[in-house]
């Protein structure tokens, strides 16, 4: 048997993907249903000479990885809803100070403490707007383990490219389910490494002056250039400023560097969309049931298709509009009260034809659930 | 060891906020605040070069240069 | 002045009020660093939010002006990922012990090599004079206009109980002791805590009728005494200054290196 072939949990595979991407520093705090990531990191990181920390809470965990990122390391933390709530302030800091890091949120059911061992997808909007102030953010997800691997590696690459935190919004089903997986050979997926400045020691270095391509070369803490990092509005040297021009330029830069690259950041999969009259839009584990329904109905000759979103933010508005242009019905399949639904309605030509197939009770949405809702939409009764 | 002798008080008037800490705690009452609430060395000849003014200054605005220190 | 080599002169005069203790702590700290002879490139200063946190902007080290209460968490990540760097973390009493209290005790327990400086002026200055966890019973502030009924705690006792391997206390009046203790704390291998009793004449002083910065400094002289002094036996209310704890304990990054060796052998 191929030794790269395994049967493991999504959480565990996420760890392997992070290591593949070059992660060598992790800090976290136990929380269901993400704890396996913490546990596997504790075991795996010292094996490769990396560093693992169990901190006193999720706030400290994110702060610690931001610190480690500043010394030049690829870093990650993982949590679930309650911990993700605690992380919001530090998340905003990493966005403002442009520090690459990856944050995994393995979503549980419900709000507040919710149903920790059950599934939900209720953190989509929190991932977008949880931290205060104007900002842009990259949020990605996956529905199966092989995609968890690819998207996790991708998340590290995007974090480096755009000097920003990237959120991996997985869910309990993907995190805990076991699937057969295959670990790609080294080099098979290209990696983006930290872009370091070529400015020599003793020459004025502008840590916050983007290059023409928008990228921001860094100097690691401990290296030749000493500069300031702050969450305050700052000038190109990293020092606080209340100059309106600087404040405007900074907010524009933080938003534009991501939203102007929405097309480049958009990851998605499509199934039978060419002639689809009814298009399901889904993501994460819910997309598994959606795909099942689509394939089942296709076998009966019905023209259903699935658009599986892997990048949730920046939301690929033009992509969704284009793909849904000819659809009679668009049905968003998700395990929340309609968080992606809102974005879809914004961009399609006929928002009145957009429907929601969802569950909000901590129970995994099944193909039967989706079929029942489709029958209602099609006027066939349940 | 020879006692250091004062060469000069270097006072950064731009940084001095006139809190008067150096004036009050100077053991020889060498310093005073002028009309603009900035410190001046009024009686430099009395200075012991203890440097307490320099060490205590919250504004890093005063410095004692002695003959033992190379510029 | 050699300590000027360690500052970013272009930002002076600094933002602190006339007579503020933060400038005196900056002054003493720079002298300690100069005495030890540390290279600017090997020092990382991490601060949180508040008047105290502005120290990091004025020093020519690698500086991280982070978020309120979390400076030690950022510092932990930096130190763990690059143990050869020297971490200095100045914090106010509210920053370190209210919003950051949990991080503080766990950083002390972990014993990672870094220096936490708690500049205790018993007030939130940046926001305009609200009571802090160290204001103490009976004090006045913007949020205790009828007198404070919150008890304070003793930073030294707290640090000792939390497991800090170096604990010292001094005041802004005792400038030479401040430089000495800060220097020893920085050299100490492990988590070191230095409490510096400091004056906020603008808020704590004014609200509690303690007079000017000078009067408050006189207060530190009168109300404190060296550890174990005879004066303390006569007057138990005197606050002791000096080094309370200095012990050799396994340092976290060193311990983790051993974990790496064990894990690699297991491969």
pLDDT tens, residue order, chain B (71 aa): 678 898 899 999 999 999 999 999 999 999 999 999 999 999 999 999 999 999 999 999 999 999 987 54
Q: Which of C27, C176, C214 sits opposite B57 (nearest CB)?
A: C27
Nearest-CA distance C192 → chain A (Å): 19
Q: Which of C14, C18, C175 sits opposite B18 (nearest CB)?
A: C18
Compute the count of residue pairs across chains B and C with CB atoms less than 8 Å apart. Answer: 67
Section C119-140 average pLDDT: 98
Is B15 in contact with C13 (Cβ distance < 8 A)? yes
Are A193 and A280 part of one and the same domain?
no
Return the partners of chain A (3 or more C-beta pairs < 8 Å). Answer: C
Are A248 and A280 part of one and the same domain?
no
DSSP string, A176-225: H-EEEEEPPPTTSS--PPP-B--PPTTS---TT---TTS---B--TTSS-
- Domains of chain B listed by start with CATH number: 6-66 (3.30.70.20)
Count Cβ atoms within 10 A of the Cβ of residue C211 and give its class: 0-12 exposed, 13-18 middle, 19 or more buried. middle
Number of domains in chain C: 1
Q: Which residues contact A236 (CB under 8 A, 6 or more apart)?
A: A206, A207, A208, A209
Are A111 and A246 part of one and the same domain?
yes
Residue A78: what are its φ and ψ, rounded to 5°?
A: -140, 150
Are A291 and A325 part of one and the same domain?
yes
Section C99-108 average pLDDT: 98
Are A19 and A57 part of one and the same domain?
yes
Section A223-227 average pLDDT: 96
Cα–Cα dist A44/A20, whole Å: 12
Is residue A135 in a domain? Answer: yes
Are A309 and A350 part of one and the same domain?
yes
pLDDT exceeds 80 at position A42: yes
DSSP state of A1: -
Are A153 and A218 part of one and the same domain?
yes
3-state secondary structure C171-230: ECCCHHHHHHHHHHHHHCCCEEEEEEECCCHHHHHHHCCCCCHHHHHHHHHHHEEECCCH
pLDDT tens-place string over residues C153-168: 999 999 999 999 999 9
Q: Which residues pair with C62 in a beta bridge?
A: C44
Section A362-382 average pLDDT: 93
Nearest-CA distance C207 → chain A (Å): 30
Section C69-88 average pLDDT: 98
Share of chain A above pLDDT 70, in %: 99
Residues of B within 8 A of C24 (CB-CB) are: 56-58
Is A64 in contact with C80 (Cβ distance < 8 A)? yes
Which of B16, B60, B62, B64 to substitute to test the interface with C, most C CBs within 10 Å? Answer: B60
Is B58 in contact with C19 (Cβ distance < 8 A)? yes
**Touch of A by C (3+ CB pairs closer than 8 Å):** yes
Is C13 in contact with B55 (Cβ distance < 8 A)? no
Predicted local distance difference test score (pLDDT) of residue C267 = 56
Are A350 and A216 part of one and the same domain?
no
Out of A233, A248, A265, pick the residue that ends a domain.
A265
pLDDT exceeds 90 at position A287: yes
Out of A232, A265, A298, pick the residue that ends a domain.
A265
Residue C164: what are its φ and ψ, rounded to 5°?
A: -60, 140
Is A228 in contact with C262 (Cβ distance < 8 A)? no
Cα–Cα dist C156/C159, whole Å: 5
CB A78 within 8 A of CB C75: no
pLDDT tens-place string over residues C217-241: 999 999 999 999 999 999 999 999 9
Predicted local distance difference test score (pLDDT) of residue C1 = 47
Share of chain C above pLDDT 90, in %: 98
* For chain B, the helix, strand and coil percentages under 3-state DSSP, each to the nearest 5: 20, 25, 60
Helix, strand, or coil (residue C255)? helix
CB A50 within 8 A of CB A26: yes
Residues of B within 8 A of C23 (CB-CB) are: 57-60
Are A97 and A202 part of one and the same domain?
yes
Are A21 and A164 part of one and the same domain?
yes
pLDDT exceeds 90 at position A46: yes
Q: Which residues pair with B12 in a beta bridge?
A: none
Residue C21: what are its φ and ψ, rounded to 5°?
A: -70, -20
Is B60 in contact with C19 (Cβ distance < 8 A)? no
Is residue A276 in a domain? Answer: yes
Q: Which of C3, C13, C212 sits opposite B59 (nearest CB)?
A: C13
Is residue A245 in a domain? Answer: yes
Count Cβ atoms within 10 A of the Cβ of residue A194 and give its class: 0-12 exposed, 13-18 middle, 19 or more buried. middle
Numbered residues of chain C with Cβ closer than 8 Å to any chain A Cβ: 11, 40-42, 44, 46, 56-57, 60-67, 70, 73-82, 84-85, 102-103, 106, 256, 259-260, 262-264, 266-267
Is C23 in contact with B20 (Cβ distance < 8 A)? no
What domain range is C247 assigned to? 2-265
Is C64 in contact with A222 (Cβ distance < 8 A)? no
Cα–Cα dist A63/C70, whole Å: 7
Is B57 in contact with C24 (Cβ distance < 8 A)? yes
Mean pLDDT of chain A: 96
Cα–Cα dist A285/A107, whole Å: 11
Residue keyed to tokens 């060419």: A274
Strands (E), chain C: 43-47, 62-65, 86-92, 114-120, 123-124, 130-131, 166-171, 191-197, 224-226, 239-246
Mean pLDDT of chain C: 97
- Scored b (16 or more CB within 10 A) or e, A292-306 reads bbbeebbeeeebbbb
Chain B CA closest to residue C10: B15
Residues of C within 8 A of A65 (CB-CB) are: 77
Number of domains in chain A: 2
CB C168 within 8 A of CB C193: yes
pLDDT tens-place string over residues A308-343: 999 999 999 999 999 999 999 999 999 999 999 999
List the strands of the sheet with A329-334, edge to edge: A268-271, A304-309, A278-282, A329-334, A354-358
Return the partners of chain B (3 or more C-beta pairs < 8 Å). Answer: C
CATH of the domain at C143: 3.40.50.970
What domain range is A361 assigned to? 269-377
Residues of A within 8 A of C46 (CB-CB) are: 67
Cα–Cα dist A209/A150, whole Å: 31
CB A119 within 8 A of CB A172: yes
**Touch of A by B (3+ CB pairs closer than 8 Å):** no
- Widest distance between CA atoms in chain B: 39
Compute the count of residue pairs across chains A and C with CB atoms less than 8 Å apart. Answer: 130
Pairwise pLDDT comparison (A128 vs C266), residue with the higher score? A128
CATH of the domain at A168: 3.40.50.970
Residues of C within 8 A of B22 (CB-CB) are: none
Helix, strand, or coil (residue B4)? coil
Using 50, 70 and 90 to split pLDDT, how confident is the model at A5? confident
B15 touches chain C (CB under 8 A): yes
Residues of A within 8 A of C67 (CB-CB) are: 63, 89-90, 93, 231
Say how many C-beta atoms besides its own lie within 10 A of residue A106's C-beta.
31
User: Dihedral of CA C87/C91/C93/C94: which sign?
Assistant: negative
Nearest-CA distance B15 → chain C (Å): 5
B59 touches chain C (CB under 8 A): yes
Residue keyed to tokens 């330029």: A249
- Window from A9-18, A182-191, A365-374, C1-10 with minimum mean pLDDT: C1-10
Are A119 and A171 part of one and the same domain?
yes
Section A293-307 average pLDDT: 97
pLDDT tens-place string over residues A154-175: 999 999 999 999 999 999 999 9
B22 touches chain C (CB under 8 A): no
Is residue A382 in a domain? Answer: no
A55 touches chain C (CB under 8 A): yes
Predicted local distance difference test score (pLDDT) of residue A381 = 72
H or E, element range at A117? strand A115-119
Q: Which of C19, C176, C217 sits opposite B55 (nearest CB)?
A: C176
ipTM above 0.95?
yes
Q: Which of C12, C17, C212 sits opposite B15 (nearest CB)?
A: C12
Predicted local distance difference test score (pLDDT) of residue A150 = 98
Cα–Cα dist A169/A91, whole Å: 14
CB C161 within 8 A of CB C174: no
Q: Which of C60, C64, C67 sits opposite A89 (nearest CB)?
A: C67
Cα–Cα dist C63/A67, whole Å: 11
pLDDT tens-place string over residues C159-208: 999 999 999 999 999 999 999 999 999 999 999 999 999 999 999 999 99
Predicted local distance difference test score (pLDDT) of residue A200 = 96
**Helices H, strands E: what count in chain C?**
11, 10
Out of A214, A231, A265, pick the residue that ends a domain.
A265
Helix, strand, or coil (residue A114)? coil
Residues of C within 8 A of B54 (CB-CB) are: 1
pLDDT exceeds 80 at position A3: no
Cα–Cα dist C178/C191, whole Å: 18
CA atoms within 13 A on the CB side of C138: 1
Cα–Cα dist B11/C77, whole Å: 41
**Touch of B by C (3+ CB pairs closer than 8 Å):** yes
Chain A CA closest to residue C104: A56
Nearest-CA distance C98 → chain A (Å): 15
Are A298 and A191 part of one and the same domain?
no
The span from the first CA to the last CA of chain A, in angstroms, equals 47
pLDDT exceeds 80 at position A4: no
Residues of C within 8 A of A57 (CB-CB) are: 102
CB A356 within 8 A of CB A342: no
Is residue A105 in a domain? Answer: yes
A242 touches chain C (CB under 8 A): no
């Amino acid at each position: 048997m191929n030794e790269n072939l395994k049967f493991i949990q999504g959480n565990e595979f996420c760890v392997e993907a992070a290591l593949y991407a070059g992660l060598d520093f992790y800090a976290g705090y136990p929380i269901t249903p993400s704890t396996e990531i913490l546990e596997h990191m504790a075991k795996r990181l010292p094996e490769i000479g990396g560093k693992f920390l169990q901190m006193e809470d999720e706030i400290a965990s994110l702060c610690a990885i931001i610190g480690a990122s500043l010394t030049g390391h690829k870093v990650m933390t993982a949590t679930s809803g309650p911990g993700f709530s605690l992380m919001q302030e530090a998340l905003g800091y990493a966005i403002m100070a442009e520090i690459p890091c990856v944050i995994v949120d393995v979503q549980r059911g419900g709000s507040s403490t919710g149903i920790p061992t059950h599934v939900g997808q209720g953190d989509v909007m929190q991932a977008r707007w949880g931290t205060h102030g104007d900002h842009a953010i990259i949020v990605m997800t996956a529905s199966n383990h092989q995609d968890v691997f690819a998207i996790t590696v991708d998340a590290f690459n995007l974090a480096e490219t755009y000097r920003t935190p990237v959120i991996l919004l997985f869910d309990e089903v993907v995190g805990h389910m076991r699937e057969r997986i295959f670990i790609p050979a080294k080099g098979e997926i290209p990696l983006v490494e930290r872009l370091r400045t070529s400015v020599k020691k003793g020459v004025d270095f502008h840590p916050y002056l983007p290059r023409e391509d928008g990228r921001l070369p860094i100097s690691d803490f401990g290296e030749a250039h000493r500069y300031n990092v702050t969450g305050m509005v700052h000038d190109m040297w990293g020092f606080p400023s209340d100059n309106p021009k600087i404040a405007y330029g900074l907010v524009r830069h933080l938003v534009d560097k991501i939203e102007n690259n929405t097309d480049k950041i958009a990851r998605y999969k499509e199934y039978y969309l060419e002639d689809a009259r009814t298009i399901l839009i889904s993501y994460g584990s819910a997309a598994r049931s959606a795909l099942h329904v689509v394939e089942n109905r296709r076998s009966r000759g019905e023209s259903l298709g699935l658009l599986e979103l892997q990048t949730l933010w920046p939301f690929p508005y033009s992509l969704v509009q284009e793909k849904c242009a000819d659809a009679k019905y668009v049905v968003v399949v998700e395990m929340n009260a309609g968080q992606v639904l809102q974005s879809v309605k914004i961009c399609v030509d006929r928002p009145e034809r957009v429907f929601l197939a969802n569950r909000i009770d901590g129970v995994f949405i099944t193909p039967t659930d989706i079929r029942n809702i489709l029958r209602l939409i099609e006027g066939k009764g349940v | 060891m020879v006692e250091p002798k004062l060469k000069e008080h270097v006072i950064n008037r731009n940084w001095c906020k006139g809190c008067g800490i150096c004036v009050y705690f100077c053991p020889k009452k060498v310093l005073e605040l002028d009309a603009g609430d900035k410190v001046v060395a009024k009686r430099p000849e009395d200075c012991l070069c203890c440097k307490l003014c320099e060490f205590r200054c919250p504004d890093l605005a005063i410095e004692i240069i002695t003959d033992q220190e190379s510029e | 002045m050699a300590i000027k080599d360690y500052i970013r002169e272009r930002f002076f005069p600094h933002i602190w009020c006339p007579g503020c203790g933060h400038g005196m702590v900056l002054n003493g700290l720079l002298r300690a660093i100069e005495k030890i002879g540390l290279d600017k490139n090997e020092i990382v200063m991490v601060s949180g939010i508040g008047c105290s946190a502005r120290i990091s902007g004025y020093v020519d080290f690698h500086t991280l002006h982070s978020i309120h209460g979390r400076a030690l968490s950022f510092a932990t990540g930096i130190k763990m990922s690059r143990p050869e760097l020297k971490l200095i973390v100045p914090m106010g009493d509210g920053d370190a012990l209210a919003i950051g209290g949990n991080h503080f005790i766990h950083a002390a327990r972990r014993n990672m090599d870094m220096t936490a400086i708690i500049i205790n002026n018993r007030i939130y200055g940046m926001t305009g004079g609200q009571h802090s966890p160290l204001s103490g019973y009976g004090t006045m502030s913007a949020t205790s206009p009828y007198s404070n009924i919150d008890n304070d705690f003793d930073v030294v006792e707290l640090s000792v109980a939390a497991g800090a391997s170096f604990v010292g206390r001094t005041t802004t009046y005792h400038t030479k002791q401040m430089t000495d203790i800060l220097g020893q704390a920085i050299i100490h291998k492990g988590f070191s805590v230095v409490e510096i009793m400091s004056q906020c004449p603008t808020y704590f002083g004014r609200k509690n009728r303690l007079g000017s910065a000078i009067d408050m400094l006189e207060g530190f002289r009168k109300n404190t005494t060296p550890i174990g002094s005879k004066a303390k036996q006569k007057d138990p209310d005197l606050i002791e200054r000096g080094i309370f704890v200095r012990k050799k304990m396994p340092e976290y990054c060193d311990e983790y290196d051993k974990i790496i060796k064990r894990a690699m052998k297991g491969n």
